[in-house]
Amino acid sequence: MTTARATIAATRRHTVIDSPYGLLTLVATDGVLAGLYMTAQRHRPPEETFGTPDPGPFAETIRQLDAYFAGERREFDLPLNLYGTPFQRSVWAELQRIPYGETRSYGELAENLGKPGASRAVGLANGKNPVGIIVPCHRVIGASGSLTGYGGGLDRKQRLLAFENGTQDAAPSLF
Instruction: List the catalytic residues.
Output: 137
CA dist 130 and 37 (Å) reads 7
The overall longest dimension of the chain from CA atoms, in Å, is: 48
Which residue spans within the chain are E strands per DSSP? 12-17, 24-29, 32-38, 52-53, 104-105, 140-141
Contact by Cβ (8 Å): 128, 84: yes
Contact by Cβ (8 Å): 89, 82: yes
Contact by Cβ (8 Å): 141, 148: yes
Sheet holding 52-53, edge to edge: 32-38, 24-29, 12-17, 52-53
Q: How far does the chain reach from its first CA to its final CA, in angstroms?
A: 30
